Every structure is written in structure tokens, then in C-alpha cells.
Amino acid sequence: MSAKAAVTATPYGEVDAAALEGLQSHYDTTRVLDAVDTLDELRTGLNDPEGLRDDLLRLHGMAHALVNGASFAATTRDASIVEQI
């Protein structure tokens, strides 16, 4: 028989009480705001959304080949995996 996790009600619904306590003790919510700032910077700099999509697909292809051993399907276009990240 497994023990049922204790839950607590929040304005956003019921959550695992222990997980919530851990977040309350250790999570810095300004990290979310930092992510928003980073996103705003990225959005400001985007002049070519299709170019970004192509870059992400190329990065995925490189990572897929390096991490999963897939065949190299795309050209590297003089950019290393580190430069793509």
C-alpha cells in the first residue's frame, strides 16, 4: 500500500504540500522575472523569426547527431555546436 501525498489548497488549486514547502524555502521567484527580461531582449532583437526557426532546427539536428548518434543530415555552415548554443 502506498502512502498518499499530503496536499494543500492554494488559489491555483491543490498542490503537493511537501513540494510547496520546498519551493517556499528555496525557490527564488525573481528567476521567473529574469526569464521574462531575457525573453524581452530576444523579442526585441528578432528581425527574422524564420531565421530563428531555421537556426533552432539546425541546432536540434546537431544535438540529435551528437547526443543520440543520429546521422548528420544537415550541413554545419561553418558554425560549431557551441556557436549555435
Give tens-digit pLDDT for 25-80: 898 888 888 888 887 778 777 765 566 667 767 878 877 787 777 776 655 555 55
Interatomic CA distance for residues 80 and 59, integer angstroms? 9
More confident residue, 5 or 18: 18
pTM over 0.85: no
What Cα–Cα distance (Å) separates residue 71 from each residue in 51, 68, 80? 23, 9, 16
| Residue with cell string 494543500 | 8
Asked if 8 and 17 count as a contact pair (C-beta separation under 8 A), the reply is yes
Q: Taking the domains of the chain in order of start, what are their residue ranges? A: 1-45, 48-85
